[in-house]
Structure 1
Amino acid sequence: MTQISAIATPSVAKPSFIALLIAVSAVSPLGINMYLPSMPGMARAFGVDFTTIQLTLSLYLAAMALGQLIIGPISDRFGRRPVLLIGLTVFIIGSLICFLAQNVGLLIFGRVVQAMGGCAGITLSRAIVRDLYGRNQVASMIGYVTMGMAVAPMVAPTIGGLLDTFYGWRASFAFLIAFGGLALLFAAWQLPETNHNRGSGGAGRELLYSYSILFRSRLFWGYTLAASFISAVFFAFLAGAPFVMIELMGRSAAEYGFYFALVPGGYILGNFASGRFAARVGPNRMILAGTFMALASVAAMAVIFAVGFMHPAALFGPMFFIGLGNGLVLPSGIAGAVSVKPDVAGAAAGLSGSLQIGFGALVAPLIGATLSTTIWPLIAIMTACSLLAIASFGLVAGQHRPEAGN
């Protein structure tokens, strides 16, 4: 195994280490996106309506939100490595439950288990980066990691659709079992402990102490809410786009998978820009640019549909730029949140990640309840989330920013 001292400085930006962070970060996004093309078939297989099968998405997101609240602070206490390895093991167990499920109740339970384990990769990859880098460098490194991670949601619906076509819906969960197993082996082999300031007191007391520090920080809330609301724009789209594309536009699931690749494509480009320019430009400017880009893109989508152009390009074209805006905002927003109080970086990563996913868990059922015969509820919710992201960033404006090394 790599020695701890080998990664005690930012020289750890080796391709193998970045690949490890990408792999563990990609586990949960794969769990979200892999099975989406199979949802109508799963509803038929279990004899339930689409609203019921959609619980496998909204409860997955809710479990991710809850899991990150627990995993981050626990890793501050016990270390990143053991918590990550346990989380990946739980993800594999959840995927196996889904694969073997004979009724929708067991499937939903498996999805919750899957999410609780998979969220360790997203949370702890951020905390690991913060263990090793200064604040501005964190934004760049997270940008590179999430740029690679974005490949997962880009290819997952296509892979899931092909597996469903040839082998049925269970094949997607077999794929997730295999991917989770490989990520677990990779982490066990390559990942040393990066948290050298682990606490020694009671875990419950430290958890409350960590969150009490963060709850009092205006900077933390500014960065976290900006990232959460901009993520909610994407999750609103994720929940509503299949219905709009297939039911309102009369297009096929295969076409949905084809056009969907535009969204993570924009996200990858935005993360690449973050990786290249965040340290030089500063995270606040990146966040401001990304939030206004998202709002302008939603406005463009509204104008296109208002003139009656009902085509997938009208939906996914603006979403490319919303994905780009997400790629500009999220690395810097996450970096700002976990850098406000570096001694509780795990708790900050967990709480910020929990809220980011939790907002998605809130908007997904809201979209499902309001979409019926028109796209306008989707556009209205995306617009509101974009405006709230800009408003949230006002909490950061004018505040003293932590030094890069803090």
Structure 2
Amino acid sequence: MSSTDRTPPTILTLILLTGVSILSLNMFVPSLVNIAVDLDADYALVSLSIAGYLAVTAVLQIVIGPLSDRYGRRPVLLGAIVLFTVASLGCLLAETVWVFLFFRLLQGAIVAGGALSRVVVRDMVPPKQAASLLGYIAMAMAVAPMLGPMVGGALDELFGWRSSFLVFALVGIALFGLTWIDLGETNPNPSQTFRSQVRSYPVLLRSRRFWGYAGCMAFSTGAFFAFIAGAPLVATALFQISPGMLGLYVGSITGGFVLGSYGAARFAKDFELETMMLAGRVVACTGLTVGLLLFAAGLEHELALFGCTIFVGLGNGITMPSANVGAMSVRSDLAGTASGLAGALTMAAGAVLTWMAGAVVTEETGAMTLLGLMFATSFLGLLCAWWVRAPDRQASSREAS
């Protein structure tokens, strides 16, 4: 490996790697109907390109992390980008729905961009500084899910649905070149064999701290997924909000996340990881408590609903960078494995909370049920953050005595 291969990447490269991994999820969503018509397939079958993609990325994160611990971050990222580019071309040229779905699921390899960008940051700098950098990356990352469907819809309208996958392929080629030039290997001590690596796993899996960090991540994100699944129904049934205003209101939680991520970027270097996690959870729970009290008092208004849920986004933005870094810091030699496992748990929790919100939030149960579900999930995240902090407090007490 040459000396340039060991050069750490710029933050722009990490932002782009993360952003593309998010864009690949939803940029083509406005084209689902047209894809079904063009490939002569049921819409429900074509929609597996979303649900199946999420399932594949959850599994891949479990695999990608250990591979990066064994072989290094750079080769795994480069390989993932190649697979993504080839898969994008496959979707572009697909003539049947089954070929399209095969290559669409293969596109899930790009999840390595988001998963390993976090690991690369942790490789480069100490934990507090890593949390700060992840805050800046999260701010830019939050823009991707808002812009993706807009860009995809415009491309479909101008050039047809296949144009989105042509853009994916071109972006993949450019991203490969950028990663090859800018992202050197940041894992200084890759494991020698998978056997030696596997022998280290029980230490990670038995770690109270790892499960506390991972649980905080999963429950924090779970509240967001519950909101996305339940808020449109509640807002439409209670307040008859127009689709345009609904989009603005639903997007407000992302605005809160951007603001919270800025707070993490600004202050994470000055506070312990666990303090930032707790602060974010308190912010989220406080906002939801206010919302529950307002609706319990009969003050049902759209601003009461979406005003309090903004605090969930704000709290998540504060919490997530530190929780991510904490999970990866339990065992530095298993940072990739920890990131992948925590990411998979987060996606699994999101899937469960999405299902729960769809099952329990109805026109009859209304806002109180949605806010209650979000509060319960956010409070579980608070308990996980406190659970991580407790061993440190106990250790300090023993040292003082």
Identical-pair percentage = 39
What is the deviation of 1:161? 3.5
Deviations 1:223-242 (A, max 9, x none): 11101110111223334455
In structure 1, the residue matched to 2:398 is none
2:306, 2:95 → 1: CA distance?
Answer: 35
In structure 2, the residue matched to 1:333 is 323
Are 1:232 and 1:360, in contact at CA under 8 Å, matched by a contact in 2?
A: yes
Are 2:6 and 2:185, in contact at CA under 8 Å, matched by a contact in 1?
A: no
Cα 1:303–1:165 change in 2 (3 A) is farther
Structure 1 gaps of 5+ residues are: none
Secondary structure of 1:194's partner? coil
Are 1:41 and 1:169, in contact at CA under 8 Å, matched by a contact in 2?
A: yes
What is the deviation of 1:295? 2.4
Amino acid in structure 2 at the alignment position of 1:344? L
Match of 1:195 among 160, 168, 187: 187
Matches within 5 A, 1:10-29: 17-29=10-22
Are 2:128 and 2:271, in contact at CA under 8 Å, matched by a contact in 1?
A: no
In structure 2, the residue matched to 1:321 is 311
1:24, 1:83 → 2: CA distance?
Answer: 13
In structure 1, the residue matched to 2:344 is 354
What is the deviation of 1:287? 0.7
Q: Is the aligned partner of 1:145 residue 2:146?
A: no
Q: Is the aligned partner of 1:32 residue 2:25?
A: yes
Amino acid in structure 1 at the alignment position of 2:50? L
In structure 1, the residue matched to 2:72 is 79
Q: In terms of mean alpha carbon deviation, does 39-48 or 85-94 score higher?
A: 39-48
Are 1:154 and 1:265, in contact at CA under 8 Å, matched by a contact in 2?
A: no
Q: Is the aligned partner of 1:68 residue 2:61?
A: yes
2:229, 2:187 → 1: CA distance?
Answer: 36
Secondary structure of 1:400's partner? helix
Task: State the TM-score, normalized to the length of structure 1.
Answer: 0.83
1:78, 1:53 → 2: CA distance?
Answer: 35
CA radius of gyration, larger in: 2
2:184, 2:76 → 1: CA distance?
Answer: 12
Match of 1:221 among 205, 211, 215: 211
Say what the alpha-carbon RMSD is for the aligned residues: 3.2
2:96, 2:310 → 1: CA distance?
Answer: 37
What is the deviation of 1:81? 0.5
Task: State the TM-score, normalized to the length of structure 2.
Answer: 0.84
Match of 1:179 among 156, 162, 171: 171
Matches within 5 A, 1:43-54: 48=42, 54=47
In structure 2, the residue matched to 1:3 is 4
In structure 1, the residue matched to 2:389 is 397
Deviations 1:205-258 (A, max 9, x none): 245224312111101110111011101112233344555567886666655554
Matches within 5 A, 1:102-117: 105-115=98-108, 117=109
Deviations 1:117-170 (A, max 9, x none): 121011111111111111222211211222222221232233233334444444
Structure 2 gaps of 5+ residues are: 396-401
What is the deviation of 1:100? 4.3
Cα 1:246–1:58 change in 2 (3 A) is farther
